[in-house]
């Protein structure tokens, strides 16, 4: 029997994840590339996408393979502002796209129906369909990676706003005259609650030669560099400074979700993206701050704050499933 697949591709600030996804949201085969540097032309990112699609299709087309089947559509979740047409990347702070007609540029190269959406919208869709938000009528998805992605799903429909650019929560200003953001502004939430923020703060502690960061400095030296996953690993191993750094990111996560709760009053926040691999070391401090900052606290029902169930796969699973259900 031939299976029916959709291909999902998640384009983040640092990596491109692809997957062959079945109707139950399971990834039966994967492909992965580094995201081309943003100094490169949009064409280079397109080439990367095409190469991932080709690899996954070849795998599905292999009649001797254990996942042999038909690919019906390609869904692309991109870390950028995708227009309401679900075809154009209007602006991508971490990539080289400005009003990039991504869907049309790829359609003739790929020869399959293509749907483009924001990567965090795709992740929200996946968590609602297959993950930590099944049955939730008012969902806010927060993905913590290089920056912050957001998705908003109300009564089973993604809310994209008038121009397609809703749920860009990472660019809400939380600190007047704060850190400069890649979007051009200052004090954006993603400068305080993201993988970049985690690494920046760790780096500044190490640069200050603080004795409490000595163990982390050794780890970074041994690993050949300081990264978010390395800090998370240190925190899980009990390093108190790494834990403090994650708790600080968690605190800012809580500030932001309290703001979003004031605006949107969701029933559930799902926290995903690479940084969410830290689990409760990140989410428990976020919940603490959220409860303290939530307006009307004690006088109102409160949203749940839970970890994503699909981890870093949510974006590609959601992109595939959105493509499948949109182009069906």
Residues that bind its own copies (CB under 8 A): 81, 90-91, 93, 98-99, 137-138, 150, 152, 154, 159-176, 183-185, 188, 255, 258-260, 262-267, 293, 295-297, 299-301, 303
Could you tell me if 249 and 268 are in contact, meaning their C-beta atoms sit under 8 angstroms apart? no
| Closest distance of CB 137 from its own copies, Å | 7
DSSP three-state, residue 68:
coil
What one-character DSSP code corresponds to residue 2?
A: -
Handedness of CA 207, 213, 218, 223 (dihedral sign): negative
If the CB atoms of residues 88 and 312 are measured against its own copies, the closer one turns out to be: 88
Q: Least distance from C-beta 263 to its own copies, angstroms?
A: 6
311, 182 in Cβ contact below 8 A? no
**What is the C-alpha to C-alpha distance for residues 127 and 131, in angstroms, rounded to an integer?**
4
Q: Which is nearer to its own copies, 226 or 306 (CB)?
A: 306
Q: Which is closer to its own copies, CB of 162 or CB of 328?
A: 162
Residue 60 or 89 having the CB closest to its own copies = 89
CB of 166 vs its own copies, minimal distance in Å: 4
CB of residue 203 vs its own copies: minimum separation in angstroms? 22
Q: What is the DSSP letter of 286?
A: H
Distance between CA atoms of residues 251 and 173, nearest Å: 15
How many angstroms separate the CA atoms of 114 and 6, rounded?
10
- Identity of the residue, 208 or 262, whose beta carbon is nearer to its own copies in the bound complex: 262
- Work out how close the CB of 55 gets to its own copies at its nearest, in angstroms, rounded to a whole number: 32
């Amino acid at each position: 029997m031939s299976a029916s697949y959709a291909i999902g591709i998640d384009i983040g600030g640092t990596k491109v994840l692809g997957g062959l996804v079945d109707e139950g949201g399971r990834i039966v085969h994967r492909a992965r590339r580094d995201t081309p540097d943003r100094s490169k032309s949009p064409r280079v990112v397109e080439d990367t996408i095409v190469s991932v699609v080709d690899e996954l299709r070849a795998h599905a087309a292999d009649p001797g393979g254990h996942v042999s089947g038909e690919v019906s559509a390609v869904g692309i979740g991109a870390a950028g502002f995708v227009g309401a047409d679900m075809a154009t990347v209007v602006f991508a702070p971490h990539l080289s796209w400005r009003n990039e007609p991504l869907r049309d540029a790829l359609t003739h190269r790929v020869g399959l129906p293509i749907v483009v959406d924001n990567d965090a919208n795709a992740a929200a869709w996946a968590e609602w369909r297959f993950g930590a938000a099944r049955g939730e009528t008012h969902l806010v998805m927060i993905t913590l990676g290089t920056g912050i992605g957001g998705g908003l799903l109300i009564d089973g429909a993604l809310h994209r706003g008038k121009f397609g650019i809703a749920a860009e929560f990472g660019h809400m200003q939380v600190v007047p005259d704060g850190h400069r953001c890649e979007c051009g502004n200052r004090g954006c939430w993603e400068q305080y609650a993201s993988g970049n923020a985690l690494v920046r703060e760790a780096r500044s502690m190490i640069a200050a030669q603080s004795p409490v960061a000595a163990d982390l400095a050794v780890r970074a030296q041994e690993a050949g560099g300081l990264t978010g996953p390395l800090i998370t690993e240190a925190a899980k191993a009990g390093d108190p400074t790494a834990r403090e750094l994650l708790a600080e990111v968690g605190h800012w996560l809580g500030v932001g979700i309290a703001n979003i709760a004031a605006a949107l009053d969701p029933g559930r926040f799902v926290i995903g993206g690479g940084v969410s691999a830290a689990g409760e070391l990140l989410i428990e401090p976020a919940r603490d701050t959220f409860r303290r900052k939530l307006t009307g606290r004690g006088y109102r029902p409160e949203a749940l704050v839970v970890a994503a169930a699909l981890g870093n796969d949510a974006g590609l699973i959601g992109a595939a499933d959105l493509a499948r259900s949109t182009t069906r």
